[in-house]
Structure 1
């Protein structure tokens, strides 16, 4: 019993972080109606700021740095903590002013991708500005212990839990007992009424952003010595925080705080159970990380209809959709360009071309599901990875021949896509984005990083062969053979043509109808539930084919090939290219991770280390300034030029009319 309780109390440190993050998410949602996926990344900057100050006294800024001490005389602890908390407040306010305030009346899709972009941007910036490999968190809280019911408990864990409870209580008091807090709640229900009473929703929201930034920065700084420093850990702490915030219906600080502490303790108990001999081998790794996904799904299924929504001014419009049409001449032109790129490149450049072709297919899966059907998915790379690891077993264990192995692996990903898509039958928008991101993290932790499930002979993938012809990716020192490159091009071309035909037909029209208005689509005889599941199935199948091609191009897979961060980066590039058009998917492939754009940055400009920062920054700019992406902007410009040309042509065809006396007088 004592050992059980000891692990329960050990989980309070991470539970306290979940609780404060959740309280912050509830506060931001109450003030703005935005689910902030970047909440953990805001705290990430604060914790590394303090670590650098306590290490050698360097105050690291986004650009430049200041020496506030030295290795022999680092910054005093209290001053370092204060600066760290202030840095989190500054980032939170910057997020409000520069990103989310301009998107107040934007579609939910733009708000979600902007939030994801901010998360990617801060994480990439931390990687660039801090020595993340050599910085360590120093103790701030007391290292004493006490005994409770036979369990030895760290005083620091109890303090963290107390801080989490105090933060939740303070947020509750602010929103319930203060004039500004009540005005913020009123503005969330009726923004126009708040303005008429003399309150600015923007200023009220700024106060909440500052408070949540301070709370987030403080808790991660205090907990960093216990949890340790990790860039991805703090960034993705937002997922369990979102899970417990949803348990509280994004409105209850008390429930969110309590659920966060319980979740942290529960995950710690699962870790304890994995040390038992009777615990199954397949559940040794990643099970604790999968728990938030289950909580999110259950909470949204039970409470999704009762989660309050924020009132706003004006109507929200989704980005315009470009109906695809297969034109022979442009299609042949694009194919000729790709063929020339394959033939006239070698080594890393040809590998970049092939990777771009594959990524364009995975990006097309996002265009299909998010751009056409309106279902925000952040799990595309999880589907691709599922197919890739399935391909490894199909080729090495069961020796399934090509292309049947690839089709079966993609169908396995399809089944997973349908499973992840089931919550979409009841929820949509940002809540669905939470589900898919939680699912992606759960799959990454519980499947990809679980040796009992994925580790089979090193996840080797046999080279594809057809009619006795070897289409292997490598031949001696040749990094990518021409045969493999053309195989990828043929597979992607055939799949793309089939999808475009589907999107331009009755299925595509049904997708657009559901995207526009689900109730209207249902009244028109469209089975909305079946249409949504079909969209998830097709999207997962496309991503699965892409994952198989990635597997063939690697020859051996690892979890690092299909991380959530790679998936989010590809989403960013798809949004930059144009989330609603096939051209956007092509642009995303060119500028996607390890594609031609990355090779150009890395080899020609020597800026490969800035790729993630550039990708996230581009996403933020597009989300705020140009939601239709590059392809959409080019299409709009072309249509404008054509309209002007038609206008001038019509003017020239109209014979000149005699001027009236009043017109003549106007010229005098």
Structure 2
């Protein structure tokens, strides 16, 4: 019993972070109606800023730095904490003023991708500006212990839990007992009424952003010594925080705080149970990380219909979608250009071309599901990874020949996609984004990083061959063979043409109808539930084919090939390219991770280390200024430049595809 209590109390420090982040998410949602996926990343900068100040007295700024001490005389702990909290407040206010205020009347998709872009931007900035490999957090809280029920408990863990509870109480008091807080709550229900009474919703929201930024910065700085410094951990603490915030319907600070502490304790207890001899081997790694996904799904299924939406002014415009038509000459020209690029390149450059071709297929899965059907998914790379690891099993253990191994693996990804898509039958918009991101993180930690599930024979993948022709990726020192590159092009071309045919036919029109208005679609005989699941199935199948091709190109897989961050970066590039068009998928493939654009940035300009920062910055800029992406902007310019007399009648769009009210917006 004492050992159980030891681990339970150890979970309070992690639970305190969940609680404060969840309380912050509740406050921001009440003030703006936005679910901020970047809340953990806001605190990330504070953690490393304080660690650097306490190491050598350097105040690291986004550009440049100031010396406030030295190795022998670092910044005092009190000043370092204050500067860390202030930095979180500054980042929170910048997020409000530069990112989310311009998007207050934007579609949910733009708000979600901007939030994800901010998360990617802050994480990339921290990795560039700080020595993340060698920095260590120093102790701030007392290192004393007390005995409770026979268990030795760290006083620091109790203090962190107390701070989390105090912050939740202060936020509750602000929203319930202060004039500004009550006005913020009123504005969330009727923005026009708040304006007529003389309150500015923007200024009220700025106050909340500052409060939540300070709370986030304070708790992560205090807990950093206990939890250590890891870039991705602080970034993704927002997922369990979102889970417990949703348990409180994004309205209750008390429930969010309590659920956060309980979740932290429960995860710690699971770690203790995993050390027992009777605990199953498959559950010894990543099970605690899968809990937030389960909590999110259950909470949204039970409460999704009762989570309040924010009242606002005006209407929301969604990016228009044109029904694609397959034209022989342009299609042949694109394929010819890729063939020439493959033939004329070699080594790293050819590898970049092949990777771009593969990424364009995965990006097309996002265009299909998010741009066409209106279901926001952040789990595309999880589907790709599931197929990739299945391919390893099929080729090395069961000797399934090509291309059946790839098809069976993609079908496994399809089943996973349908499973993840089931919550879409009940929820949509930002809430669905929470589910899919939680699912992606759970799959990464519980499946891809679980030795009991994925570590079979080193995750090797046999080279494909057909009719006795070796299609393997390597031949001696040749990094990418011509045969393999052409095989990838053929597979991607076939899959793309089939999907475009779907998108241009009755299936695509059903997708657009569901995207525009689910009730209207149902009224004309469209099975909305079946259409949504079909969209998730097709998207996962495409991503699965892409994952298999990535597996073939590697020859041996690791979890690092399909991380959540890579998936989010690809989503960013797809949005930059144009989330509603095939051309956007092509652009995303070109500029995607390890694609030909990355190779050019790295090899020619020597700017590879800035890739993630550039990608995230481009996403933020595009989400705010041009939601139709590069492809949409080029199309609009082309239409304006064409002589009016030569313009054919515009192709039809689904009713409401370009414009809909916020209440009916699914993207």
Distance (whole Å) between structure 1 residues aligned to residue 285 and residue 136 of structure 2: 25
1:509-528 matches, within 5 Å, as 509-528=509-528
Number of aligned positions between the proteins: 647
1:485 matches 2:485: yes
Distance (whole Å) between structure 2 residues aligned to residue 310 and residue 227 of structure 1: 35
Alignment RMSD (CA, Å) = 0.6
Report what 1:260 is aligned to.
260
Distance (whole Å) between structure 1 residues aligned to residue 271 and residue 153 of structure 2: 17
- Say which SS state the counterpart of residue 11 (structure 1) adopts: helix
Distance (whole Å) between structure 1 residues aligned to residue 247 and residue 477 of structure 2: 55
CA deviation string 1:579-614 (max 9, x = no partner): 000000000000000000000000000000000000
Distance (whole Å) between structure 1 residues aligned to residue 162 and residue 285 of structure 2: 30
Report what 2:659 is aligned to.
none
1:51 matches 2:51: yes
Report what 2:171 is aligned to.
171
Report what 1:414 is aligned to.
414
Distance (whole Å) between structure 1 residues aligned to residue 273 and residue 316 of structure 2: 48
- Say which SS state the counterpart of residue 146 (structure 2) adopts: strand
1:17-56 matches, within 5 Å, as 17-56=17-56
Report what 1:579 is aligned to.
579
Report what 2:657 is aligned to.
none
Report what 1:664 is aligned to.
none
1:9 matches 2:9: yes
- Say which SS state the counterpart of residue 317 (structure 2) adopts: coil
Report what 1:71 is aligned to.
71
Report what 1:325 is aligned to.
325
Shift of residue 322 of structure 1? 2.3
Report what 1:625 is aligned to.
625
Distance (whole Å) between structure 1 residues aligned to residue 332 and residue 61 of structure 2: 49
Shift of residue 644 of structure 1? 4.5
Distance (whole Å) between structure 1 residues aligned to residue 591 and residue 334 of structure 2: 16
CA deviation string 1:621-648 (max 9, x = no partner): 000000000000011111112255659x
1:140 matches 2:152: no
Report what 2:293 is aligned to.
293
1:152-167 matches, within 5 Å, as 152-167=152-167
1:559-570 matches, within 5 Å, as 559-570=559-570
Distance (whole Å) between structure 2 residues aligned to residue 646 and residue 475 of structure 1: 52
Distance (whole Å) between structure 2 residues aligned to residue 509 and residue 495 of structure 1: 19
1:464-503 matches, within 5 Å, as 464-503=464-503
1:375-454 matches, within 5 Å, as 375-454=375-454
CA deviation string 1:11-43 (max 9, x = no partner): 000000000000000000000000000000000
TM-score by length of 1: 0.96
Q: CA, structure 1 residues 44+332, in 2 after alignment: closer, same or farther (shift >3 Å)?
A: same
1:308 matches 2:278: no
Distance (whole Å) between structure 1 residues aligned to residue 602 and residue 642 of structure 2: 38
Distance (whole Å) between structure 1 residues aligned to residue 202 and residue 50 of structure 2: 30
Report what 1:456 is aligned to.
456
Distance (whole Å) between structure 2 residues aligned to residue 238 and residue 466 of structure 1: 46
Distance (whole Å) between structure 2 residues aligned to residue 536 and residue 302 of structure 1: 22
Report what 1:658 is aligned to.
none
Report what 2:638 is aligned to.
638
1:283 matches 2:279: no
Name segments (4+ residues, structure 1) moved above 6 Å. Answer: none
Report what 2:120 is aligned to.
120
Shift of residue 328 of structure 1? 1.1
CA deviation string 1:28-64 (max 9, x = no partner): 0000000000000000000100000000000000000
Distance (whole Å) between structure 2 residues aligned to residue 176 and residue 308 of structure 1: 17
Distance (whole Å) between structure 2 residues aligned to residue 637 and residue 194 of structure 1: 40
Report what 1:241 is aligned to.
241
Gapped runs of 5+ residues in structure 1? 648-668
Distance (whole Å) between structure 1 residues aligned to residue 234 and residue 589 of structure 2: 29
Distance (whole Å) between structure 2 residues aligned to residue 587 and residue 646 of structure 1: 28
Report what 1:217 is aligned to.
217
- Say which SS state the counterpart of residue 153 (structure 1) adopts: strand
1:601 matches 2:564: no
- Return 632-641 or 506-515, whichever deviates more: 632-641
Shift of residue 281 of structure 1? 0.3
- Say which SS state the counterpart of residue 66 (structure 1) adopts: strand
Gapped runs of 5+ residues in structure 2? 648-667
